[in-house]
């Protein structure tokens, strides 16, 4: 599902699903952005 975050089972790196093309059987991924704590600042 686009927007979903998944992790590589081998290295644990997280990726965000950008798009899915079921007809071609392709999934486009990009590295997930890390969200830092803002502590209300």
Tokens of 6: 């998944």
pLDDT of residue 33: 83
Instruction: Indicate the pTM of the whole model.
Output: 0.68
Question: How many CA atoms lie less than 13 Å away from 39 in the CB half-sphere?
Answer: 0
Tokens of 38: 């803002």
Tell me: the pLDDT tens digits for 1-41? Answer: 899 999 999 999 999 999 999 999 999 999 998 766 667 66
pLDDT of residue 38: 65
pLDDT of residue 34: 74
DSSP string, 15-30: EEEEEEETTTTEEEEE
């Amino acid at each position: 599902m686009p927007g979903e975050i998944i992790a590589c089972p081998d290295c644990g790196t997280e990726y965000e699903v950008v798009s899915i093309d079921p007809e071609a059987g392709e999934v486009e991924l990009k590295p997930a952005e890390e969200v830092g704590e803002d502590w209300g600042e």
